[in-house]
């Protein structure tokens, strides 16, 4: 268990120390409480919460107000890891001014220590402005889910020479703009390794192989709380969804059978000194 909150300089220092950065998402107070006593370095309130907690088809409908409410809930349960708020679709694309204002909401209203936003070269000016306002920014390149329609689906990026070159350039632009770390999502492992060697800021991979400076997963995926298609890069470390369903079925059975609540789950009081039940006043 950590004893001091993780800071941005500490994350930057991991590049030189070689100690891998661990990051996970969280979307509410209960999951934050679960992660807080662990040694996880970064907790991201990712816009993936739109899918795992709000039931949207993708991350595009998630609003700033939803992200702020969820980040605030996580903040209340999290005291050790670096808390990063994910800027939702259209909260940073319209103008640099709006982006800075929305990034500021994560810090001021939700208690985040940093923000993350998607995009490489085209987002560099925005990243520089947010960093200029004193807010640490984590970049996110490769398979950026907010661009799902542009990509035509959730496809691995950087498979051609030109795409790979663009993603390498994206990484350099974000480093130059002042990002303190880069999420590399859905790119070939070799390309992630080249970028990791090329930039001085830490890279945090998801579906980007083992050569990054750290790894991030969506907590619901890791715990086995998601149904349906599981991408190749996800490792389900537990099957809590199945376990939870089993527990609920067991509860239903016991209530139907009358074996729950048992005596130990019920309150008893001694009634010896109560008046005898007689007449109309027995209640």
Nearer to ligand KIV, 25 or 71 (CB): 25
Contacts for 17 with CB less than 8 Å, ≥ 6 apart: none
Cβ distance to ligand KIV smaller for residue 25 or 157: 25
Q: Which of 150, 157, 146 is nearest to 118 (CA)?
A: 146
177: its two tokens: 């703009």
Residue 189 Cβ vs ligand KIV, minimum distance, rounded to whole Å:
17
Closest-CB residue for ligand KIV?
A: 46
Q: How far is Cα 123 from Cα 158, in angstroms, rounded to an integer?
A: 18
Q: Which is nearer to ligand KIV, 183 or 225 (CB)?
A: 183
What minimum distance in Å lies between the beta carbon of 247 and ligand KIV?
27
Of the pair 67, 261, the CB lying nearest ligand KIV is at 67
Burial of 154 (0-12, 13-18, 19+ CB in 10 A): middle
CA of residue 23 relative to chain centroid, distance: 8
User: What minimum distance in Å lies between the beta carbon of 185 and ligand KIV?
Assistant: 6
Q: How far is the CB of 41 from ligand KIV (least distance, A)?
A: 14
Report the chain's terminal Cα–Cα distance, integer Å. 55
* Bridge partners, 119 (sequence order): 140
Q: Which lies closer to ligand KIV via its Cβ, residue 6 or residue 208?
A: 208
The Cα angle at residue 53 between residues 205 and 244, in degrees rounded to 5:
100
Residues annotated as catalytic are 185
Nearer to ligand KIV, 41 or 86 (CB): 86
Rounded-to-integer distance, Cα 22 and Cα 18, Å: 12
Closest separation in Å from C-beta 161 to ligand KIV: 26
**Contacts (Cβ under 8 Å, ≥6 apart) of 181:** 11, 12, 21, 138, 139, 201, 202, 203, 204, 214
* Closest CB 195 distance from ligand KIV, rounded Å: 15
Provide the binding-site residues for ligand KIV, judged by CB under 6 A.
25, 44, 46-48, 86, 183, 185, 206, 216, 218
Among candidates 51, 88, 46, which has minimal Cα distance to 71? Answer: 46
Q: With beta carbons less than 8 A apart as the criterion, state whether 99 and 71 touch.
A: no
Over its C-alpha atoms, the chain yields an Rg (Å, rounded) of 24
């Amino acid at each position: 268990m950590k004893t001091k909150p993780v800071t941005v300089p500490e994350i930057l220092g991991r590049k030189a120390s070689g100690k891998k950065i661990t990051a996970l998402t969280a979307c509410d107070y209960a999951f934050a409480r679960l992660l807080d006593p662990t040694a996880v370095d970064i907790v991201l309130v990712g816009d993936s919460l739109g899918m795992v907690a709000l039931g949207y088809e993708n991350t595009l409908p998630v609003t700033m107000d939803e992200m702020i409410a969820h980040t605030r809930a996580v903040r209340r349960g999290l005291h050790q890891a670096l808390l990063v708020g994910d800027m939702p679709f259209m909260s940073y694309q319209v103008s640099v001014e709006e982006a800075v204002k929305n990034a500021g909401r994560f810090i001021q209203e939700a208690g985040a220590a940093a923000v993350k936003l998607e995009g490489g070269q085209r987002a560099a000016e925005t990243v520089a402005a947010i960093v200029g306002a004193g807010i640490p920014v984590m970049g996110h390149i490769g398979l950026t889910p907010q661009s799902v329609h542009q990509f035509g689906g959730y496809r691995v990026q950087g498979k051609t020479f030109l795409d790979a070159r663009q993603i390498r350039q994206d990484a350099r632009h974000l480093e130059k703009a002042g990002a303190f770390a880069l999420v590399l999502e859905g790119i070939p492992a070799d390309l992630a390794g080249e970028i990791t060697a090329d930039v001085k800021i830490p890279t945090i991979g998801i579906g980007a192989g083992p050569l990054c400076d750290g790894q991030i997963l969506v907590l619901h995926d890791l715990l086995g709380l998601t149904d349906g298609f599981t991408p190749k890069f996800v490792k389900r470390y537990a099957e809590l969804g199945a376990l939870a369903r089993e527990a609920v079925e067991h509860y239903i059975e016991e209530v139907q059978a009358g074996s729950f609540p048992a005596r130990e789950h019920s309150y008893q009081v001694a009634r010896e000194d109560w008046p005898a039940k007689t007449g109309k006043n027995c209640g």
